[in-house]
Every structure is written in C-alpha cells, then in structure tokens.
Amino acid sequence: MLLGETIIQGSPFRQQPKSSPQNPLGRDACAWISKLGKITIDPTNSSPPQVADGLRRLFSRFLEIYSLTPEQCTFMERQIDSIAQFQGDFPLVFQHGDPGTWNMLVSPNGKVAFLDWEAAEPHGIPLWDLFYFMRSYCIWVTRGSGRYESLQVFVQSFLGETPLNMFVNEMTRSYCQQVGIPAELIQPLFYTCWMHRALKESTRLPQAKLDHGHYVNLLRTSIDQVIAPGLRRLFSDQDPMKL
C-alpha cells in the first residue's frame, strides 16, 4: 500500500471574509470543479441507459428509507427515464464527492484548494460536485446576513429570483459549456444529485429523524416547486440573462 500526502499552505475557506455572491473565492472554486470535469471527462465508460439503471437502483434504495408522495415518485422516475432516453454519450467525470466549504483552504495567492478526497469517484456523475458546492457556498455567504436556516437559504438561492440564483445559473452554464453537458441533462442531474445526498445523509441520521433530513426535504421542496422562477431559469436551454 502507498500513502501520499501533500502539505497545502492556506487558511480555512470558512474563515474568509464574507461578501457577496460575486465573491471571487466562490467563482474560483466553481472554475476548479469545472476544470476537474473537463480534464477527466470520459464519454465512453457508460451509456445513458447504464447510468439510468444505476440511478434506478439508488432510487429503489431511497424509497426503502424515505417516503415520497405518488406524484413526487412519478416525477423522479421521469427524471431518471430522461437520462435513459438521452441520445448521445453520457460523460462521466472524476468526482470529488464532498466539495463543501468545510473541505477547502484558501492559499496565500488567493486560490481555493480542495481537501479530503476519501469520497472521490473516478467515474462520477457530472454537475453533482458543482451543485453540492454551490449549496454550501450559498449558505456560507448568507450566514453573515443573519439567515441561518439551510433549507430556506437553498430555496432563495436555487428557486428564487436573487443575486445568488444568478450566480448558480452562471456557474452551471459555464460548467456545462466546458464539460459538454447538454442543457436537457441539467434538470435530471439536479434532482438525482439531491436524491444521492439524501441517501448518504441517511447513514448519519437516527431512524426517528429520517423524515426531517435536510436533503430529503430539499428534494421534496424542489420537486413541488419545479416551476419556481429560479429552477425554470436553471433548466432552460436559453441564456438565463435573457429570461
């Protein structure tokens, strides 16, 4: 066995001064995640039906743990079906797996460095790292304004019409352009991302608190508010600045 370690000089991301959605640290982290996807993309490892089969297995496990309404179940099944029916190569990427702000340092030259790669996946799902980082980043940015409820911040940032929503859209479009992700895949990847995070969270929650988990309620809310302005902008194949 071989263990390699590198010492990274820097200070914790969360100790940096908070500013606005335009904070260069947030953009730098998103750019790094996009670059990771671009240089590791593999369109030959799995076909869309194979990826969809894997997601269906995850969804079956999800339903053994959590409850959704019949309408929410149908919605999720359609998201996975849309991946199975996608005409083209499905690009897999190297996925960090846990790119929250708590796993980042800021180097002396102002660049973001990612730590703790134990959850990495060599053939991971595109966009999942980006969505997960932006959720934690939006919560970090808004903590300074006194808004501490994580689900409420997510709703404002991803579903609402706010400066943070424009940041989310801009970074998502940039990632898709660099990695080659068609706009039609943004929506199913968005919803399956939170399904996957809810599954991971279930291992840390006691049985009595499963129904109150952050990610399962984030998923339910996103399904129920699929026509919210922020999501319509995120899932549109048009320039979000023109919507």
5 pLDDT more than 80: no
Percent of the chain residues topping a pLDDT of 90: 70
User: What was the pLDDT predicted at 241?
Assistant: 39
What pLDDT digit, counting tens, does each position of 82-138 carry? Answer: 999 999 989 999 999 999 999 999 988 888 999 888 899 999 999 999 999 999 999
pLDDT at site 168: 95
Tokens, residue 4: 């390699």
pLDDT digits (tens, 9 = 90+) for 6-61: 667 788 888 887 666 667 899 999 999 999 999 999 988 889 999 999 999 999 99
Give the residue, 84 or 150, on which the prediction is more confident. 84
Give the residue-averaged pLDDT of 68-86. Answer: 97
pLDDT at res. 143:
73
Q: What is the pLDDT of residues 162-208, one digit of tens each?
A: 889 999 999 999 999 999 999 999 999 999 999 999 999 999 999 99
CATH classification for the domain delimited by 20-237, as one of 3.40.50, 3.90.1200, 1.20.120, 2.40.160: 3.90.1200
Q: Residue 240 has what pLDDT?
A: 40
pLDDT band at 242 (very low <50, low <70, confident <90, very high): very low
- From CA 160, how far away is CA 147, in angstroms rounded? 15
Identify the pLDDT of residue 239. Answer: 45
Q: Residue 203 corresponds to which amino acid?
A: T
pLDDT at 238 over 80: no
Query: Strand pairing partners for 11?
Result: 106
pTM of the model: 0.91
Quote the CA–CA distance of 220 and 67 in Å, as a whole number.
10
CA distance 218 to 234: 16
The pLDDT assigned to 23 comes to: 79
pLDDT number for residue 140: 87
With helix as H, strand as E and coil as C, how does the chain read?
A: CCCCCCCCCCEEHHHCCCCCCCCHHHHHHHHHHHHHHHHHCECCCCCHHHHHHHHHHHHHHHHHHCCCCHHHHHHHHHHHHHHHCCCCCCCEEEECCCCCHHHEEECCCCCEEECCCCCCEEEECCCHHHHHHHHHHHHHHHHCCCCCCHHHHHHHHHHCCCHHHHHHHHHHHHHHHHHCCCHHHHHHHHHHHHHHHHHHHHCCCCHHHHHHCHHHHHHHHHHHCCCCHHHHHHHCCCCHHHC
Where do the structural domains in the chain lie, given as residue ranges? 20-237
